[in-house]
Amino acid sequence: MSQPCLHLRLISVLLLYCILFASHVLMITALACRPDQIQALIQFKNEFESNGCNRSDYLNGVQCDNSTGAVTKLQLPSGCFTGVLKTNSSLFGFNHLRYLNLSNNNFTYSSLPFEFSSLKRLEVLSLSSNGFIGQVPSSFSNLIRLTHLNLSHNELTGSFPLVRNLTNLSFLDLSYNQFSGTIPFDLLLTMPFLSHLDLKKNSLTGTFEVPNSSSYSRLVYLSLGQNQFEGKILKPISNLINLKHLDVSSLNTSYPIDLSIFSPLKSLLVLHLSRNRLLPASLNSSDIPLSLESLVMPRCDITEFPNILKTLQNLQHLDISSNMIKGKIPEWLWKLPHLSLVNLVNNSFTGFEGSSDVLLNSSVQLLDFAYNSMTGEFPLPPPNIIYLSAWNNSFTGTIPLQVCDRSSLTVLDLSYNKLTGPIPQCLSNLKIVNLRKNSLEGSIPDEFYSGAFTQTLDVGYNQLTGKLPRSLLNCSFLRFLSVDNNMIEDTFPFWLKDLPNLQVFTLRSNRFFGHLSPPDQGPLSFPELRILELSDNNFTGRLSQTFFVNWKASAIKVDEDGRIYMGDYKHAYYVYEDTMDLQYKGLFMEQGKVLTSYNTIDFSGNKLEGQIPESIGLLKALIALNLSNNAFTGHIPLSLANVTELESLDLSRNQLSGTIPRELGSLSFLAYISVAHNNLMGEIPQGPQFSGQAETSFEGNAGLCGLPLQGSCFAPPTQQPEEDDEEEEEVLNWKAVVIGYGPGLLSGLVIAHVIASYRPKWYLKIVGLDKPKEVKPVRFFASLDSRWDSYDNHVERESDT
């Protein structure tokens, strides 16, 4: 580059820097901040990776004093910073800070710096969901002006933090940590302004006792649930006369809790009693705060429907899930005027009192009575229903047409019942539809209008016929589509590849037919597809060598929200997690939750023929591959050694020939392999990936030998006729040529994979974010030169053998 050009480039870079710096200055100058404070703010931001927020987002949370120009408020946007908060951070130079909120940023397992104590003017300090570890420094007790302290949702340990000097505290949240030891209630008495105390989900021990003192009368919010307390709830709890929210779940009390003990709490709105034993008689009395709006009592060993609910005319949220309540749901429940959320999951209810229109006058919006023993016709849904789940019951008859009149209905899950008749015509209006494992008939309605909201559609295991509706193309939000185990007769829906969000697609066990790789289609590519299940159909023909080019499984990608399982997590009151039947490592798992990292292809049980495409090696993130029960010929592709995440490989019952590539031994995660009933020959490669397999994984190959099969590959040497030597040489050359078709072995870094758990799929409380796993780079397909180099090396190794 010439000297003048270099000078021009340097000048351009300097001008750009000046413009960016000036924009910082101009934006913060409007906030009346001094230049040194501006520089410190920029320096603080530069201490971290801050791709999660732009400049304006960061500065929107800054306020400076009009007279001194010092920064007095700093509130980081969620997900703005990533990195370690160091003890010498410029943050601790903002000595005039009164308000500091760093919550929902990732400080990557930093310890809480002692230097927070230098911010002596702090009145509000919020460090929630930051990934902090270790103990709270004793220096925090020097922040005597604090009125608000939030350290929740971290991994802090040690005994209850020293807060004796923080006499101005009105808000203290230490929930969802790992604090241990006893609570110094006498210490808390020195806080005359304390109104909000949340210690939920720790490992605190000792006896739960509310001291007999009026000092607690200011408490409005008290959450002590899910710790390791013992003892009993004493009468002085009646001193909490202003209490509105009380969580005493999982108290491990020495005897059943009498609900009448809460009757003096006339202001109480929310009461959480989950995982406690309740006195049965108190469930039928009227001695309970009539002000209650939310009553949560799951896993309380309740055996009869609580008649105490009759008196709660303000009740909005009722959760009595996972108890042992039998009989019918009383008709009077649906007459409570403000009832909006009802969770009756996992009991032994047999049905509803009253007629099928018992819910028509109900105000309920979210209703879940899954996992019960309900029979008869399905009731007509409430008029303002949003979420309706009744899966795993025994309802019969047809799906009420009135579901199409419920414009607010978003989630409909009637799976695992005995419903018959057609599918309603209004699926486009719903976000999630799960009608799996019923006896529904007819075809899937071809009524999906443009802009349809449908994200999940599961109609598997019914008696559906006809073709896939072409109007599915209008479902641009469609993420999960399952029509498995029906009688649908159609060709492969290549037109669905235009759906931008489709991730899971299963057609298993239908009557689909035709070619998967016709000449006029080119490489099959879905933009986001990670799971494709086509097993047990009538697909025929060959797969082109470019068949797997441009597939999503060619790259490892972490879910954007850091979620472990696929689903809908965006609603405040429910979580829906997609489930599907998984065939994995030779096992069948019914209704397993779908990992966001799970990538699988299953073409088994068809009539596919020809060679397995070498482009299979591009699918580096593939975890399970099943091509069994087809008519594939030729060799096992050497490119499979590039599929570094592979855990399960089933090529059994084909017509494959040649040897088992030794290179498969480099697949670190390969835990299951079956090549049974082919025409393979030679010695089974030795190594941990092969030695742990069952003998049945290699049976039915007359030319295979070596462990785990019986017998040895090495026979005593005998004099061979010259003709046999020539024949053996031809075989070796042929084997070398077949092996030479494969690409060179790639070296790649791999990431750990978590196997899906088998748990219930519905929850009525939103769950916290899981941290995404670290993704390491993986090299892509080898060059043409390296393929030929690999070919020469394989010839040499086979000749040596």
- As a whole number of angstroms, the distance between CA 397 and CA 376 comes to 7
| Side-chain-facing half-sphere of 801: CA atoms under 13 Å | 19
More confident residue, 781 or 25: 25
Report residue 274's pLDDT band, with 50, 70 and 90 as the boundaries.
Answer: very high
What tokens were used for 635?
């060799």
State mean pLDDT over 43-71. 89
Instruction: Give SS3 for 734.
Output: helix
What pLDDT was estimated at residue 590?
67
Domains located in the chain, CATH noted: 325-420 (3.80.10.10), 534-705 (3.80.10.10)
Q: Which residue has the higher pLDDT, 765 or 477?
A: 477
Mean pLDDT of the chain: 82
Contacts (Cβ under 8 Å, ≥6 apart) of 93: 40
Closest to 412 measured CA to CA, from 392, 431, 438 = 431
Classify residue 10 as exposed, middle or buried by CB count within 10 Å of its CB (0-12, 13-18, 19+): exposed
Q: What's the pLDDT band for 458 if we cut at 50, 70, 90? A: very high
Q: Do residues 101 and 75 make contact, with C-beta atoms less than 8 angstroms apart?
A: yes
Nearest to 267 by CA among 215, 232, 221, 298: 221
**Residue 8 confidence (pLDDT):** 44
The tokens 């909201």 sit on which residue? 453
Is 60 exceeded by the pLDDT of residue 489? yes
- Band of residue 506 on the pLDDT scale cut at 50, 70, 90: very high
Q: Judge whether residue 159 has pLDDT over 50.
A: yes
pLDDT the model gives residue 563: 74
Name the pLDDT band for 717 (thresholds 50, 70, 90).
low
- Report the pLDDT averaged over residues 184-205: 84
The pLDDT of residue 83 is above 80: yes
Q: Quick one: average pLDDT of 399-412? A: 94
pLDDT at 631: 97
Residue 764 CA to chain centroid, in angstroms?
A: 15
- Candidate ranges 48-57, 228-237, 696-705, 762-771; pick with highest mean pLDDT: 696-705
CB atoms within 10 A of CB 500: 11
Percentage of residues in the chain having pLDDT higher than 70: 80
Q: Looking at the predicted structure, is the pLDDT value of residue 340 above 90?
A: yes
pLDDT of residue 761: 37
What confidence category does residue 585 fall into, taking pLDDT thresholds of 50, 70 and 90? low
Lowest mean pLDDT among 183-197, 359-373, 626-640: 183-197
pLDDT (tens digit, 9 = 90+) per residue, 118-130? 999 999 999 999 9
Residue 656 exposed, middle or buried by CB count within 10 Å (0-12, 13-18, 19+): buried
Handedness of CA 534, 536, 538, 544 (dihedral sign): positive
Residue 342: pLDDT band with limits 50, 70, 90? very high
pLDDT for the residue numbered 295: 97
Rounded mean pLDDT, 243-248 = 94
> Can you tell me the mean pLDDT for 382-406?
95
User: Quick one: the chain helix, strand, coil %, rounded to 5?
Assistant: 20, 20, 55
pLDDT above 60 for 760: no
The pLDDT assigned to 287 comes to: 82
Taking the C-alpha atoms of residue 132 and residue 127, their distance in angstroms, rounded to an integer, is 8
List residues bridging with 705 in a β-sheet.
683
Per-residue model confidence as pLDDT tens digits over 224-243: 999 888 766 666 677 788 99
In the chain, what percentage of residues exceed pLDDT 90?
Answer: 60
pLDDT at 285: 79
287 contacts 311 by C-beta, under 8 angstroms: no
Judge contact between 622 and 603, C-beta under 8 A. no
- The DSSP element (H or E) to which 389 belongs, if any, is strand 387-389
DSSP assignment string, 12-66? HHHHHHHHHHHHHHHHHHTTT--HHHHHHHHHHHHTSB-TTS-HHHHHTTEEE-T
- Quickly state the pLDDT bin for 715 (edges 50, 70, 90): low
Instruction: With a cut of 70, say whether residue 20 has pLDDT above it.
Output: no
Question: Rounded CA gap, 602 and 535, in Å?
Answer: 6
Alpha helices in 146-203, H assignment, sequence order:
185-188
Distance between CA 49 and CA 40 in Å, rounded? 16
Give the pLDDT band of residue 762 (cuts 50, 70, 90): very low
